[in-house]
Amino acid sequence: MTTSQSSPVQIDPHEPPLSAPLRLSFDYTRSVGPLLSQFFTALRERRIVGVRGSDGRVHVPPAEFDPVTYERLTEIVPVASVGTVASWTWQPAPLEGQPLDRPFAWALIRLDGADTPLLHAVAAGSSDDVGTGARVHAHWIDEPVGAITDIAYFTLGAQQEPVAEPEGEADDRDPVTVQVTPSAIEIQHTASLPESAYLRALQQGKLLGGRTGKDGKVYFPAREADPATGQQLDDFIELPDKGTVTTFAVINIPFAGQRIKPPYVAAYVLLDGADIAFLHLIQEIDAADVRMGMRVEAVWKPRDEWGLAIDNIEYFRPTGEPDADYDTYKHHL
């Protein structure tokens, strides 16, 4: 798919840079502990509870440790789902993932029976309808799961929302012990000139490295500058798709979003002619047989599946050549 040896490449400095939206997301998973477990389990039942501190104050949400003595807190106290706005701000243009899809208020709400305020959304027709001292009550989602979002939002009025008693047998579900919170950020990423050239080369089945002058270190992927000297990379080279495994890890533990069944190997591959290794998968060999110095070659996806990404290479596999001598890659670990 690419050259058998390093060869110089000319890139067009007038070609516009690549730009595309980039979304990073993951689910943050945490164990909530014994105290917050009671808080989230109560929310699942459309109830709100706090915890009493050493000075008698009731904290909502519950504080796991006393802010005065720093001792662990344990005394759970029921509070009302009605409260008073202590302070607020108006959200004129709601963002994706926020509680309401129309303008609303963010407010610190001191629930009746509590001494510390809870941050949540307040639904109101306009900012003129909200004010410090306003009385509000919780509006619950139809099917609570044991999360703060079981309160869809607060709405104006001091009348507590009726909560229907569960039909049939009592709730025998286990207490809530784990919270999963989706987290995401989306940006518009505009690639630099070398990065754009590197990505366009990948779309053509080529691996593009860069260096400063004719005797500088060759970096793959190509980047703006030599990280050791700060000098601009101005000489670009097409590298072969063969290289040497320098270091590697055997992945044995499954995780969310994993696309390959463990065990499998992620390795740093030093392409022939490059001075820095990059991370990729090693396949077509038992994980226990992968080793430092092993010679490997790229296995490319079918050409009609190539895009602007390094995953045009599906994985690397052993070439069958003798292992590289340690001295040839010891400075690239």
- The predicted-structure confidence for 284-310, as pLDDT tens digits, reads as follows 999 999 999 999 999 999 999 999 999
pLDDT beyond 70 at 173: yes
* pLDDT tens-place string over residues 17-70: 999 999 988 888 999 999 999 999 999 999 999 999 999 999 999 999 999 999
Identify the pLDDT of residue 169. 63
What digits encode the pLDDT tens for the residues 226-258?
A: 888 899 888 999 999 999 999 999 999 998 778
Which residue in 63, 78, 148 sits closest to 112, CA to CA?
78
Q: Is the pLDDT of residue 81 over 90?
A: yes
Residues 6+ apart with CB under 8 A from 186: 21, 22, 23, 24
User: Which amino acid makes up residue 245?
Assistant: V
Average pLDDT, integer, range 86-104: 95
pLDDT band at residue 166, thresholds of 50, 70 and 90?
Answer: low
Name the one residue in this structure whose structure tokens are 């980039």.
22
146: left (phi over 0), alpha (psi -120 to 50) or beta: left
pLDDT at 14: 80
Element (H, E) at 131: none
CA 220 to CA 275: how far, in whole Å?
8
Residue 122 main-chain phi, psi, to 5 deg? -125, 125
Q: How does the average pLDDT of the chain come out, rounded?
A: 93
Residue 9, pLDDT > 70, answer: yes
